[in-house]
Amino acid sequence: MMNGETQSQTNWVGAWYAAPSRMFSANLSGRTLRQIVHLHAGGTQLRLRLSNRYGDAPVTLSSLSVGPVRQGPVALPGIQAVRFAGQPTVTLEPGQDVVSDPVSLHVKAFSDLAITFFLAQGESLTGHMSAQQTSYVSGPGDVTAVPAEASLFVYPLQTLSWWLITGIDVVPSTPLNAVVAFGSSTTEGFGSTPNANRRWPDYLARRLRDAGETRFMSVLNAGIGGNQLTSSEMPLAGGMPPFLFGEAGSTRLAWDALTQPGATDLILHIGSNDLRVGVPGATMIEALQHVASQARHTYRRVFGTTILPGGYPPTQVEQRSLVNTWLREQGRQWFDAIFDLATPLASSDDEAVLHPACDSGDGIHPNDEGYRRMAEAIEINALTGTSS
């Protein structure tokens, strides 16, 4: 193990992750949340990660549980309580991250997991805005004890965000490493089909599963929509507060990438938003060099990727080309390999434009086919894999 906490007795590995940012208040206090996540690794035990990193006041959660999902908010038998230091209730102070006690629950890779809790006090101002996954919110009250067959009635509200939850770690039955995908909305999966797990990290995870044996790794998605590598300012945010887009990638790397349990590899796919707001290519190259050097203190292998076409001001088209040329020609001086994600998605008529077959409709974000092509462009034999 190259990353995360000391694994002297229990070899935890990340199975699911959602990079946190500050959220708008959704008035969730006094309601029950049942949030759905898709695991890229299985195991015999799990633990839940929560965060109040951007909260202004304490939040208290009770009646926490995890369990398999039948459909929508309806859980299958096998729900297990989640405790923190042996207690069924946990309070997160402003800025605090917490990890639960181990939960004895056998979960399978590529299965959905329901995370349920009652938000007893405080407001959830930390979460992940664009989940590409439907989760469920109750009316007022703690409905965690309601029978499964009534779930459709007691969770009448839906959300496409994740609230207060940041990760699930598992103890795999056999050794397993993880690779972290770090980026912006095109890593987060914006534009993909909701509830279908068709982000490029999902496609990559399935490729690694199908390759099998020592190629298989868990894939953790550390993308945040709108995120920049060099700054947290977003002058072209269209009236949306910049805090929704997360802290600068160079800053959040410390908690979103460098502390992931069991992670040996890092794939950086970030920089498009920097270029769109006018950051010079030379500045981007310097920032990529710095992050690659920083990540090498933690990771066994660090990979770069070319920046996708689509949505650049005319003055910045040349800057994207400058960065991508440097990545292809000199990137190996800083990275273990460069994966060319841009070329398979480029229009045959103009390399600065997304191919119509890969465009979700806004000229910037790929659709399912585009994300599939991105995953196919990653040379999986270059990854560390997992030793038996």
The string of DSSP codes covering 69-92 is EEETTEEPS--EE--BTTBSEEEE
Tokens of 88: 């069924």
Residue 292 lies in a domain: yes
pLDDT tens, N- to C-terminus, the chain (388 residues) = 344 444 346 799 999 999 999 999 999 999 999 999 999 999 999 999 999 999 999 999 999 999 999 999 999 999 999 999 999 999 999 999 999 999 999 999 999 999 999 999 999 999 999 999 999 999 999 999 999 999 999 999 999 999 999 999 999 999 999 999 999 999 999 999 999 999 999 999 999 999 998 999 999 999 999 999 999 876 655 667 778 899 999 999 999 999 999 999 999 999 999 999 999 999 999 999 999 999 999 999 999 999 999 999 999 999 999 999 999 999 999 999 999 999 999 999 999 999 999 999 999 999 999 999 999 999 999 999 998 6
Check: CB of residue 305 under 8 Å from CB of residue 298: no
Residue ending a domain, among 104, 137, 169, is 169
Check: CB of residue 94 under 8 Å from CB of residue 58: yes
Mark whether 291 and 161 lie in a shared domain. no
Q: Count the Cβ atoms, other than its own, within 10 Å of residue 72.
A: 17
Mark whether 364 and 290 lie in a shared domain. yes
Residue 132 lies in a domain: yes
Closest CA to 371 of 190, 229, 112: 190
Residue 119 amino acid letter: L
DSSP 44: E
Q: Which range marks the domain in which residue 85 is found?
A: 13-169
Mark whether 226 and 248 lie in a shared domain. yes
Q: What is the pLDDT of residue 9?
A: 61
Q: What is the pLDDT of residue 233?
A: 77
Q: What is the pLDDT of residue 237?
A: 56
Place of tokens 């699911």: 16
Residue ending a domain, among 169, 187, 206, is 169
Beta-carbon contacts of 148 under 8 Å, excluding residues fewer than 6 positions away, are 70, 74, 75, 76, 77
Residue 362 lies in a domain: yes
- 3-state secondary structure (DSSP) of residue 378: coil
Q: Count the Cβ atoms, other than its own, within 10 Å of residue 29.
A: 15
- Rounded to an integer, what distance in angstroms lies between the CA atom of residue 158 and that of residue 99? 26
Residues 352, 196, 167, 46, CA torsion sign: negative
Q: What is the pLDDT of residue 232?
A: 83
- Rounded to an integer, what distance in angstroms lies between the CA atom of residue 136 and that of residue 221? 21
Mark whether 187 and 328 lie in a shared domain. yes
Mark whether 152 and 286 lie in a shared domain. no
Check: CB of residue 198 under 8 Å from CB of residue 189: yes
β-pair partners for 50 = 98, 165
Residue 6 lies in a domain: no
Mark whether 231 and 279 lie in a shared domain. yes
- 3-state secondary structure (DSSP) of residue 317: helix
Residue 4 lies in a domain: no
Closest CA to 328 of 354, 299, 307: 307
Residue 5 lies in a domain: no
Beta-carbon contacts of 119 under 8 Å, excluding residues fewer than 6 positions away, are 28, 29, 30, 31, 32, 33, 59, 60, 61, 164
Mark whether 330 and 268 lie in a shared domain. yes
Tokens of 192: 């993909």
Check: CB of residue 166 under 8 Å from CB of residue 23: no
Residue 2 lies in a domain: no
Mark whether 211 and 347 lie in a shared domain. yes
The string of DSSP codes covering 223-274 is E-TT--SS-S--TTSTT--GGGG-S-HHHHHHHHTTT-TTEEEEEEE--HHH
Tally of domains in the chain: 2
Mark whether 213 and 137 lie in a shared domain. no
Q: Count the Cβ atoms, other than its own, within 10 Å of residue 51.
A: 23
- Rounded to an integer, what distance in angstroms lies between the CA atom of residue 61 and that of residue 90? 5
Residues 229, 232, 238, 241, CA torsion sign: positive
